[in-house]
Structure formats: C-alpha cells, structure tokens
C-alpha cells in the first residue's frame, strides 16, 4: 500500500533540507568536528570547511570573502546590520528609513533604536506592495544613516526595485548605508550587492533547503558596525562565538545547488505558481494580494478568501495533508493584524482571510492541482460555519 505524501506549501517559513546537505553536515558532525579556532589538526580541518563555504558564498554574491560574516539566523543578521550600523554611525546622524512591510526582524530593530533616541521614517507602499525609489530618495536627509528595504516580501511576494533604490539612496546621500533583507530572495533571484549599491545584506540557511540556525551577513568595504555579541573575537570581532561549522557548510552547499540551477528552478516555480493562480482564479470570492505576474516572486502566493478565516482554512487543509501558512511564520504564534496587508489597502473586514502558499523546487505540478481542488471543495463547506 502506497503511503500518502503530504503537500508542503509553507516553504517561506522553512524548507526541507536537501539530502546532500544533511549528508555533508552529518559527516562534519561525526568526523570534522573540531573547533575552527583550535590549532591542532581537527581544528585546522574544521577551519578549511569554513574557508571553502565562505569562498562558495562569496562567489555566488560576487563579493570578497572577507566581507561575509556568519550569524545564527536571518533575524540576527538583520539586527546586526541595522542596530550595529546605526550605533556605529550615530555621530553622523540618528535618522533611519524603512518601509511598512518589512519583516519583524527589521521593524522591531527599528522600534528598539527609536527607544534609544533615533528617528524612524516608515514609507508606505502601493497596492502591489512596492515602494518607489523616488519616495525613498525624497525621505533621505543629511542625517540619514541607514535605509532598510527588503528584497522579497515574505507574505505577498512583492519584489522591490532594489538596484534603483540603492542608486537613489546613494545619489541623495552617499554616506547613507543601504541594508537589504534578502532572506526570501537569496537563491531565488540573482542578487549582486556591489552592482545594486547594497552595503549590508542578510540571508538565511533554512529558507534555501539548508539547515536552521545559520545566517549570513554581507558587509561592504568601509562599513563599520557595532558588534552585538562580545566574547572570543571570532570573525574579526564582528560576531564572537564558535562558528557553526556544519551549518555554514550546509548553507553553502544548499546555495550552490540552488544557484547552479537558478533559471531552471525559477521557471519551474513560476509555472507551478501560475498554474495555482489559474485554477484559484476560477473560484468565486477568491482574490490575490499583490501582483500575480512575472514581476513578483516565483514562489510566494497570497490568497484572500472572502467569508473564510485564514486559520480555519489552514487547519482544514492540514486535515487533508496540505500545509500552508496564514502569514509570516515569525508572528504566527502571536496573532495580530498583518502590517503588510494593511499597508497594501486590504479591507479591514478581510484582514483575517488570507493564506500564503509558498513553493519550493521539491513541489510538483500535480500538487498544485490537488491543492486548488481542495480549496475549491472546502470553501462552501467551511462557510456553513460562518455567522452571517
């Protein structure tokens, strides 16, 4: 008897680790387990793993190896970039700029800095979840020390014109740092920090079929950060603590596997997403948040279903072995209105009706058909329980 396979469509929350990545990490756990700061053979072998991983990731981003730092996650990378960057530059100014639809790692870092006396400008977005380079440039002042704009929105998949924003920031104030949260875009799109005028870029391992517990931060030449962690002085004192060698090696291999097949994977993801869109668009009272064309992320689709609460649909699909999300995984345990949905003008009565379907290269076209059919069948059933 064949075992029924679950359909996992919550890849923006986390991804299944590639088997090759798990095998590499297990090898390091059991064989190359030395501390990379140790001077004996085991330590030297572990350090070689770090050197190779840094070389791989630097090659993907087309940056110098010395400009990459490893953290525990994308959230830590964002915190180090924003808080560390603002504190190091506060003599030049205490003004920061971001958008209303950033990840909590960015928004909460901004709130923290406000409590320390910084001023934060939060820019609005259009109905597609996009901020214009002109709006960013207009907000930059002589005392603006940092601008933070995410590459790919984790809820609706809007992709910001990062290169144009970077150019606008540098024209307005060459000293202003440009930070990009690329956690959802890394290895889904070609991101080149130097070409895009990015000073600080954050990425995460577990969004790209690598392990949890590992993040990456690119820091451009000449950028000063105030370290947030103090200790043994690893990574040039920027981020003390024994490096997570298995995680770093695993993230590098996952990135290499995805980026080595980037265009083909984007085509596959886009085809599956467009199939979902075509099927769901035929269902009455189903609408989409943000753009659904090729300018949006190929792996994220936000669906609004009138008359059905997201949490109810989520658990009904779960009963069928289909796993989706009701929004950002980072805030799912602390329900609150979505900043992103509010920012794009979602009617207040429909704020609780959106589910997110996020795909990976491990999904199939057949799974898209099964998912769309399940949603179509569940809507009239679930509406029986809605008070009118």
Among all residues, which ones are annotated catalytic? 330
Q: What are phi and psi of 246, to 5 degrees?
A: -60, -40
Q: Tell the residue number behind the tokens 């928004």, with chain if given.
A: 107
How far is the C-alpha of 261 from the C-alpha of 360, rounded, in Å? 13
Tokens read off for 192: 């080149």
The full length of the chain comes to 388
| Closest to 206 in 3D by CA, of 114, 369, 72, 55 | 72
Residues 6+ apart with CB under 8 A from 167: 133, 197
CA gap 118, 224 in Å, rounded: 18
Pairing type for strands 7-8 and 144-148 reads: unpaired
Q: How far apart are CA 213 and CA 140, in angstroms?
A: 34
Q: Which of 377, 334, 371 is nearest to 355 (CA)?
A: 371
Number of other CB atoms surrounding residue 212 within 10 Å: 16
DSSP string, 151-220: SB-TTT--B--HHHHHHHHHHH-TTSEEEEE-TTTBTTB---TTTTT-SEEEEESTTTTS-SS-EEEEE-
User: Vertex 76, ends 75 and 77: CA angle to 5°?
Assistant: 90
Q: Which residue has the tokens 């990545």?
A: 21
Q: Give the contacts of 1 (CB within 8 A, at least 6 positions apart).
A: none
Q: What DSSP designation does 68 have?
A: E
Chain center to CA of 44: 33
| Residue 120 Ramachandran class (φ > 0 left, ψ -120 to 50 alpha, else beta) | beta
The widest CA-to-CA distance across the chain, in whole angstroms, is 71
């Amino acid at each position: 008897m064949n075992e029924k396979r679950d359909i996992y469509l919550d890849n923006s929350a986390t991804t299944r680790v590639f088997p090759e990545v798990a095998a590499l990490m297990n090898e390091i756990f059991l064989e190359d387990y030395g501390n990379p700061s140790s001077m004996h053979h085991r330590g030297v072998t572990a350090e070689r793993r770090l050197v190779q991983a840094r070389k791989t990731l630097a090659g993907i981003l087309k940056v110098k190896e010395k400009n990459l730092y490893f953290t525990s996650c994308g959230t830590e990378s964002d915190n180090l970039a924003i808080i560390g960057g603002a504190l190091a530059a506060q003599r030049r100014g205490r003004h920061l700029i971001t958008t209303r639809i950033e990840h909590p790692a960015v928004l909460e870092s901004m709130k923290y800095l406000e409590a320390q006396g910084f001023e934060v400008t939060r820019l609005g977005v259009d109905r597609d979840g996009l901020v214009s380079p002109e709006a960013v440039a207009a907000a930059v002042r002589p005392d603006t020390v940092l601008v933070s704009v995410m590459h790919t929105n984790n809820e609706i998949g809007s992709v910001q014109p990062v290169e144009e924003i970077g150019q606008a920031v540098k024209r307005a104030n060459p000293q202003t740092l440009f930070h990009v949260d690329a956690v959802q875009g890394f290895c889904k799109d070609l991101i080149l920090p130097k070409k895009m005028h990015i000073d600080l870029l954050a990425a995460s391992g577990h969004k790209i079929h690598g392990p949890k517990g590992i993040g990456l931060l690119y820091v451009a030449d000449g950028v000063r950060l105030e370290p947030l962690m103090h200790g043994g002085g690893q990574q040039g004192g920027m981020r003390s603590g024994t490096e997570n060698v298995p995680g770093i090696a695993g993230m590098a291999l996952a990135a290499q596997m995805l980026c080595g097949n980037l265009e083909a994977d984007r085509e596959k993801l886009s085809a599956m997403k467009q199939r979902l869109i075509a099927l769901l668009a035929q269902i009455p009272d189903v609408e989409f948040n943000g753009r659904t064309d090729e300018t949006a992320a190929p792996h994220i689709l936000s669906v609004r279903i009138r008359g059905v609460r997201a949490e109810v649909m989520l658990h009904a699909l779960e009963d069928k072995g289909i796993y989706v999300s009701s929004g950002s995984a980072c805030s799912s345990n602390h329900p609150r209105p979505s900043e992103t949905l509010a920012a794009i003008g979602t009617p207040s009565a429909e704020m609780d009706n959106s589910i997110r379907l996020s795909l990976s290269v491990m999904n199939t076209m057949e799974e898209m058909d099964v998912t769309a059919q399940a949603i179509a069948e569940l809507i009239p059933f679930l509406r029986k329980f809605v008070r009118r």
